[in-house]
Amino acid sequence: MAQSAEVVICGAGSAGVAAAYYLAKQQTITNVLVLDKHPPLTQTSAKSGENYRNWWPTEVMVRFMNRSIDLMEALSEASNDIFNMERRGYAYVTESIADIHNYVHHYSQLSVGDIRFHRGTHQNGTATYSPPAYRGFEGQPDGADLLLDKQIIQTTFPHFSDDIQAVIHARRCGAISAQQLGMYLLEEAKKLGVRELRGELIAIEQDHCGVRAVEVKTANGKERIETRRVINAAGPFAPHVAAILDVELPIFSVLQQKIAIQDHLGVVPRDTPFTIFMDEQHLDWSADEEQLLQSEPEYQWMLDKFPGGLHIKPEGGKDSLWIKLGWAFNRTIEQPLWEPEGTLEFPDIVLRGASRLIPELKRYIDNIPKPVVHYAGYYTKTKENLPVVGPLDVEGAYIVGALSGFGTMVSCVAGELIAAWVAGSELPDYAHQLSLARYDDPAYLASLSGMRLDGEL
């Protein structure tokens, strides 16, 4: 006898788990089956940077993320902060102020909150700017603080290079434990009736009404689950699931990497915000190293200019020694693998790049502390770096995907939104801007060619 479910979710990553939770919690659809051939939260979700921010360059993403942060703050309170939500902000750092006012003006037009300027107000020769508390979000400002005074910058962030000219301290930003958040949502969903099935999707049956059933390969053989609604939450493998329905998605995957090392020299203060070096740069190679790289065609790219966006953060709390560094400089589209491998040169590259921002990190370049935890995961994205959340062209089929590098922080609102689509409930006014329907709008398509900022880190 075939099983049945009101909704089958294909993918048990952060988005799929959140979709299950909000279907059961908000939409009272509890006969939900979460399908994955691997344990929950073990693919891209396991490679998360574990951060969140409302500092995005498009209004739709600002509003989307503000809603997600609202949901996470409520969950933090309800769960006694089981997923360690903190709000130290993000520090966007640059050596040049040539474009800073245009950059800030752009964000001032968005719903990120007020932007406060700090140009050099001192008391007794000491900078007066105070960074946010390590934990908690009650009573903290949103928006951002723009630090343009070098004394304030050096007093507040003494580990930064003397060349830093400006810091934009975005405030409604911070960190969470992605695994703890995902497992909390999954366990709460299970209490409401949501089920898991370990297996591989091999077919989706259709009839004149649309989706009819899914066929799954499990350890015990093939199983058929009758359902009229399927959510594609397969992360990098979303195009594969869509292809089963003969649907082509405008998304692709790019491998990106991070490392974590123990900062036993105490170079990065533990209360430092998640820090992004905004500037492009050439890496600082010695003359011998440069000559060697120039002689090897496969490594000559390491002499090219690297994009801005290198980032670094303390990892693991005040008593931890760990720091995490990432840099999404890869632009090569590829077919995803379940266990992608990082490249051998990445740790050296990211440390050299980070040492321009934090000079004391140079002490680690030729003697990287062991062990090095090396993460490699996919940014599965659209051209404009907006997610895709909504119905597919097959009746009863939906997608929540293209959560490029921001899956953890957006999972709650993405889960809430796809649950509303599936249930036929009232949608927020930004819903269609995040659905595939946006690609039917000629004006939207024309706007893509003029995009300058996409918020990717």
Question: Tell me: the pLDDT tens digits for 272-318?
Answer: 999 999 999 999 999 999 999 999 999 999 999 999 999 999 998 88
Any domain includes 95: no
Any domain includes 291: yes
Answer yes or no: is pLDDT of 158 > 90.
yes
Alpha-carbon gap, residue 72 to 78, rounded angstroms: 10
Q: Domain range holding 343? A: 253-270+279-381
Question: Tell me: the pLDDT tens digits for 246-255?
Answer: 999 999 999 9
Q: In this structure, which amino acid lies at residue 122? A: H
pLDDT of residue 1: 47
pLDDT of residue 207: 96
**pLDDT confidence of 134, banded at 50, 70, 90?**
very low
Q: In the block, which residue shows the tokens 């344990």?
A: 39
**pLDDT average, residue stretch 420-443:** 96
- Beta-carbon contacts of 335 under 8 Å, excluding residues fewer than 6 positions away, are 253
Q: What is the CATH number of the domain that holds 203?
A: 3.50.50.60
CB 118 within 8 A of CB 152: yes
Query: Both 434 and 297 in a single domain?
Result: no
Residue at a domain's end among 381, 401, 419 = 381
Give the chain's domain count.
Answer: 2
Query: Both 262 and 376 in a single domain?
Result: yes
Answer yes or no: is pLDDT of 450 > 90.
no
Query: Both 261 and 347 in a single domain?
Result: yes
Query: Both 41 and 184 in a single domain?
Result: yes
- Of 140 and 27, the structure prediction assigns the larger pLDDT to 27
pLDDT of residue 2: 65
**pLDDT confidence of 141, banded at 50, 70, 90?**
confident
The string of DSSP codes covering 390-443 is EE-SSTTEEEEE--TTTHHHHHHHHHHHHHHHHHT----TTGGGGSGGGGG-HH
**pLDDT average, residue stretch 259-272:** 96
Residue at a domain's end among 381, 414, 434 = 381
Query: Both 220 and 293 in a single domain?
Result: no
Query: Both 297 and 352 in a single domain?
Result: yes
Query: In 306-323, which positions are buried (b, 16+ CB within 10 angstroms) versus exposed (e)?
Result: bebbbbbbbbeeeeebbb
Query: Both 306 and 357 in a single domain?
Result: yes
Q: What is the mean pLDDT of the chain?
A: 93
pLDDT of residue 279: 97
Question: Tell me: the pLDDT tens digits for 66-118?
Answer: 999 999 999 999 999 999 999 999 999 999 999 999 999 999 999 999 999 98
Answer yes or no: is pLDDT of 22 > 50.
yes
Question: Tell me: the pLDDT tens digits for 2-20?
Answer: 689 999 999 999 999 999 9
Any domain includes 443: yes
Query: Both 377 and 443 in a single domain?
Result: no
pLDDT of residue 124: 53
Any domain includes 84: no
Residue at a domain's end among 328, 352, 381 = 381
Any domain includes 153: no
